[in-house]
Homo-oligomer: A and B are copies of this chain.
């Protein structure tokens, strides 16, 4: 296929890359839902890491996206749903979410998720 025939070609956009050292106190929390806040902690066009803190009872509403995702549970306890399977996950557990699979989480005990995506979550970036 010619590059010019690739219908995605015109949509390609670069977001560059983050700084190389991202110290915790240098980055502000962004509130994204009730009881949920995040920090973007490193990215280029291919990869993005986001730290997400949840209060007990807060929810990551079910959603899907074209990105591959891995989420590592740093702390707390969550009921995590991927497709039609829900399991309890806690510190040290992780989940893999394939592209376009519906997923969501309910926080049962206050804690932190490390969400990583490929490619970058372009919808998390400003213009």
Contact = CB atoms under 8 A, between A and B. Distances in A.
B21 A89 contact: yes
A118 to B, nearest CB: 4
A93 interface: yes
State how many copies of this chain the complex holds.
Answer: 2
A10 interface: no
Given A3-B1, A42-B95, A82 B20 contact: yes
A21 B70 contact: no
Nearest to A96: B42
Main secondary structure of the interface of A (DSSP, over half): strand
A1 to B, nearest CB: 7
A24 B75 CA distance: 12
Contacts of A70: 41-43, 47-49, 116
A118 B49 CA distance: 11
A87 interface: yes
A114 B72 contact: yes
A118 B90 CA distance: 25
Q: Which 10 pairs across A and B sit closest by C-beta, in order of nearness?
A: A24-B92, A42-B70, A42-B96, A47-B118, A41-B94, A49-B70, A46-B118, A118-B118, A116-B116, A47-B68
